Amino acid sequence: MNSLLQPVRPDESPLPGPVPCRSRTAAPTVPLSDLDVHCPAVVCRVDAAAAGQPAERARQLGEIGFVPGERVVVLTRAWPGRDPLVVLVGHSRFALRAAEAACVQVQVGD
């Protein structure tokens, strides 16, 4: 039977599985700005200097929840240009510019 025509049990989602994460094959940590949409990750560190941002940026990101150990997911990106991006950190959503997101180093996986 065609898989599109098979009935869906109530405990199954009719939507396809999770979006593959290209970043899984990359380095152990990647900038949040490079993370694929819907790819779960955990904040490892916030390093504004490495992203060419002022030191104040790291403090600001920490104040809104980007702290080591916190779970993050990129929910969507603007079109065209992929900037800004909407990020879920903890239970809060934020719109970040790519330059700000580049300050946050994450490890892919949940």
Q: What global pTM score does this model have?
A: 0.71
Helix (H) or strand (E) holding 108: strand 104-108
47-91 pLDDT per residue, tens: 888 888 888 999 999 999 999 999 999 999 988 877 899 999 989
State the pLDDT at residue 10.
Answer: 45
Concatenating the DSSP letter of every residue in 74-104 gives EEEE-TTT--SEEEEETTEEEEE-HHHHTTE
The residue ranges of every structural domain in the chain are 38-108
11-40 pLDDT per residue, tens: 443 433 334 455 444 448 899 998 989 999
Fold that domain 38-108 belongs to in CATH: SH3 type barrels. (2.30.30)
